[in-house]
Amino acid sequence: MNPLAHEEIQELLGAYALHALDTDEAALVEQHLEGCPRCRSEVAAHREVAALLGNAGGDAPEGLWDRIASQLEDAPPPMRLAFPADGGGPVTPLDGRRRDRGSRLLVAALGAAAAVVISVLVVEVVRQEDRIGELEAAMDGSSVAGASVVKLVSPDGSTTADAVLLPNGTGYLLAGDLPPLTDRQTYQLWGVTDTGVISLGLLGAEPGGIMPFQTGADHEVTALAVTQEVAGGVARSQNPAVLAGELG
Amino acid sequence: MAVNEDLKDCSDAVVVVAISRYSQPALAEAYRRHAGAVFALARRLLVDSALAEEIVQEVFLRIWNQPEKFDPERGTLRSYLLAQCHGRSVDLLRSESSRRVREERDARRTAEDGYDLEHEVVDLSVAERVKEALATLPDLEREAIALAYFGGHTYREVADLLDQPEGTVKSRIRAGLKRLRTELVGAGIGGDP
């Protein structure tokens, strides 16, 4: 079917929100929604109303939760935290039982990136010394000694960031080199832990200065990564890492 | 069910973030909050408890496997789960292999009150206000929404059932949902219009 005009799509949004379109029409609407925040907002509003209509009380049957829980034995598919294909192949940090494989892939990808990085290392050494100084200043005079230092590198080696992670789970990130994003986007910081990949916070569309973050006492972070996401961030990223680095 | 006491006071958005970190107690908490509503909607659509249980399983396994699909800025977790439930229930009703399900459902429904929308809404605290909002709709808008949402019909099927032009039904569904939203927001339910 040919794409419909915006006004024609709008007329379908009520029926779409109630799953009352034929498959072909629903596909046309979905295609339109990808690029039209106004129509996405209208569908969300219709679905809120529909939820009120369908929001009946009552309990779920006994035993149903046990059946669901019995299917959660295996961890869900891991979050993709991959470099682009030309950056050394996919990097897929996995949950605890599979983390060794994930770490190996991450190291392999970083190795590929490092070949590019080496040419700018001389300049970077000086820059990093300055950054570490800034980070130390941010840490109320504490030394980075005893802390884990992380250098995050983009797949092509052109962009870097530095972070330190203290034993108490407090971290500081300096990522001023990242190119600014639009208002509808944000950078998001992730930590690779022994139980999977966790969000460590949003960095905004234009990261600047020293940004503190917390990994929490329960998590042993082995690597950090930054992805580009929609404003507001995501619970689990499907996007490749624009920066990544393992703890030194 | 292993519900974590610490999660009981958390927002749905926080619970979903915990789900994304493989927290089964967080999924149990989401289930505790919303499974009853999800089950009730599926059973209402399918008129079959066993099928409704399958839908509930699908919906909660989906939020477990793909928590990133839920965007707290675009609606509540309850509305997201109910939309998932509604979509899957309608798929089941419309699938070729389940035509028999629909025929059996429709046969059972003949003994009920039909598609009287005001009798479909049985939620506790907001039921009266939703009923009042429904009462403000023109008959055609109310009937079209009921047949589409609770009947699982496409708007083309609704047009046939109501003997109205397809374009009219399409417009009335949209206009009715907008009118309901305005009424409900005015009554202090739902978000900004």
CA of A53: which chain B residue's CA is closest?
A: B121
List the single residue in B36, B40, B148 with the smallest CB-CB distance to A18. Answer: B148
Assign A248 a pLDDT band (cuts: 50, 70, 90). Answer: low
The two tokens of residue A83 are 């470099």
Looking at the structure, tell me whether residues B40 and B127 fall in a common domain.
Answer: no
List the single residue in A13, A19, A76 with the smallest CB-CB distance to B64. Answer: A76
Q: Does A75 touch chain B (CB under 8 A)?
A: yes
DSSP letter for each residue of B45-110:
HH--HHHHHHHHHHHHHHHHH-GGG--GGGS-HHHHHHHHHHHHHHHHHHSGGGHHHHHHHHHHHT
List the single residue in B19, B71, B86 with the smallest CB-CB distance to A54. Answer: B86
Looking at the structure, tell me whether residues B57 and B69 fall in a common domain.
Answer: yes
Please give the distance of CA B8 from its chain centroid, rounded to a whole number: 24
B64-81 tens-digit pLDDT = 888 888 888 788 899 999
Q: For strands A170-174 and A160-165, give the pairing.
A: antiparallel
Taking the alpha carbons of A219, A225, A231, A237 in that order, is the dihedral positive or negative? negative
DSSP letter for each residue of A188-247:
EEEEEETTEEEEEEEEESS--SEEEEE--TT--EEEEEEEEEETT--SS--SPEEEEEEB
CA of B90: which chain A residue's CA is closest?
A: A19
CA of A51: which chain B residue's CA is closest?
A: B79
Q: Which of B112, B146, B179 is the last residue of a domain?
A: B112
Looking at the structure, tell me whether residues B178 and B152 fall in a common domain.
Answer: yes
Looking at the structure, tell me whether residues B65 and B103 fall in a common domain.
Answer: yes
Looking at the structure, tell me whether residues B35 and B50 fall in a common domain.
Answer: yes
Cross-chain Cβ contact B181/A48 below 8 Å: yes
Q: In which domain, by residue range, is B15 found?
A: 1-112
B120-179 tens-digit pLDDT = 444 456 677 888 888 899 999 999 999 999 989 999 999 999 999 999 999 999 999 999
List the single residue in A10, A47, A56 with the smallest CB-CB distance to B122. Answer: A56
Looking at the structure, tell me whether residues B95 and B152 fall in a common domain.
Answer: no
- Contact residues, chain A, for B120 at CB < 8 Å: 53-54, 56
Distance from CA of A125 to the nearest CA of B (A): 36
Q: For strands A221-230 and A210-214, give the pairing.
A: unpaired
Looking at the structure, tell me whether residues B18 and B39 fall in a common domain.
Answer: yes
Size of interface A-B (CB pairs under 8 A): 205
pTM exceeds 0.90 for this model: no
Instruction: Give, in degrees to the nearest 5, the angle at Cα A177 between A153 and A243.
Output: 25
Q: How far is CA A129 from CA A38, A132, B5, in A?
A: 47, 5, 46
- Contact residues, chain A, for B28 at CB < 8 Å: 65, 69
pLDDT for residue A38 is more than 70: yes
Taking the alpha carbons of A39, A205, A77, A219 in that order, is the dihedral positive or negative? negative
Assign B184 a pLDDT band (cuts: 50, 70, 90). Answer: confident
pLDDT for residue A18 is more than 90: yes
% of chain A exceeding 70 in pLDDT: 66
DSSP letter for each residue of B97-160:
GGHHHHHHHHHHHTTTT-S-HHHH---SSSHHHHHHHHHTS-HHHHHHHHHHHTT---HHHHHH
Distance from CA of B172 to the nearest CA of A (A): 9
Q: What is the pLDDT of residue A117?
A: 34
CATH number at residue B146: 1.10.10.10
Length of chain B measured in residues: 193
CATH node for A85-246? 2.60.40
Looking at the structure, tell me whether residues B147 and B69 fall in a common domain.
Answer: no
Cross-chain Cβ contact A47/B126 below 8 Å: no
The rounded distance, in Å, linking the Cα atoms of B33 and A64 is: 14
pLDDT for residue A30 is more than 70: yes
- Domains identified in chain B, total number: 2
Looking at the structure, tell me whether residues B104 and B19 fall in a common domain.
Answer: yes
A105-142 tens-digit pLDDT = 233 333 333 333 333 333 344 455 555 566 556 555 45
Looking at the structure, tell me whether residues B16 and B90 fall in a common domain.
Answer: yes
- Contact residues, chain B, for A65 at CB < 8 Å: 1, 28, 31, 35
List the single residue in A52, A58, A65 with the smallest CB-CB distance to B130. Answer: A52
> What element of type H or E holds A150?
strand A148-153
Looking at the structure, tell me whether residues B128 and B49 fall in a common domain.
Answer: no
Cross-chain Cβ contact B64/A72 below 8 Å: yes
- Contact residues, chain B, for A199 at CB < 8 Å: 17, 20
Assign B111 a pLDDT band (cuts: 50, 70, 90). Answer: very low
Q: Whose structure tokens read 């609606």?
A: B75
The two tokens of residue A237 are 């990223």
B20-68 tens-digit pLDDT = 877 889 999 999 999 999 999 999 898 889 999 999 999 999 998 888 8
Q: What is the pLDDT of residue A127?
A: 52
Q: What is the pLDDT of residue B3?
A: 57
Looking at the structure, tell me whether residues B44 and B6 fall in a common domain.
Answer: yes
Distance from CA of B79 to the nearest CA of A (A): 5
Residue A47: strand, helix, or coil: helix
Taking the alpha carbons of B174, B179, B184, B188 in that order, is the dihedral positive or negative? positive
Q: How far is CA A117 from CA A110, A128, A159, B39, in A?
A: 10, 13, 9, 55
**What is the side-by-side strand order in the sheet with A160-165?**
A196-204, A185-193, A221-230, A241-246, A148-153, A160-165, A170-174, A210-214
A135-184 tens-digit pLDDT = 556 555 455 556 777 888 888 888 888 888 877 777 888 877 788 888 77
Q: Does A59 touch chain B (CB under 8 A)?
A: yes
Q: Which of A168-177, A195-204, B173-182, B184-193 reaches the highest mean pLDDT? A: B173-182
Cross-chain Cβ contact B1/A69 below 8 Å: yes
Alpha helices in chain A (DSSP H): 6-17, 23-34, 37-53, 64-69, 99-117, 121-138
pLDDT for residue A87 is more than 60: no
Q: Does A67 touch chain B (CB under 8 A)?
A: yes
Average pLDDT over residues A197-207: 83
Q: Which of B112, B132, B158 is the last residue of a domain?
A: B112
Q: For strands A160-165 and A148-153, give the pairing.
A: antiparallel
The two tokens of residue A59 are 């309990």
Best residue in A19, A197, A202, A230 for a mutation probing chain B (most B CBs within 10 Å): A19
Cross-chain Cβ contact B149/A69 below 8 Å: no
All residues at 6 or more sequence positions from B125 whose CB lies less than 8 Å from its CB, including other chains: none
Cross-chain Cβ contact B16/A76 below 8 Å: no
Q: Which of B112, B133, B168 is the last residue of a domain?
A: B112
Q: Does A27 touch chain B (CB under 8 A)?
A: no
Residue A216 burial (C-beta neighbours within 10 Å; 0-12, 13-18, 19+): exposed
Domain ranges of chain A: 6-53, 85-246
Q: What is this model's ipTM? A: 0.84
The two tokens of residue B51 are 């099928």
The rounded distance, in Å, linking the Cα atoms of B26 and A9 is: 38
> What element of type H or E holds A186?
strand A185-193
Cross-chain Cβ contact B121/A95 below 8 Å: no
Residue B70 burial (C-beta neighbours within 10 Å; 0-12, 13-18, 19+): buried
The rounded distance, in Å, linking the Cα atoms of A76 and A79 is: 9
- Contact residues, chain B, for A4 at CB < 8 Å: none
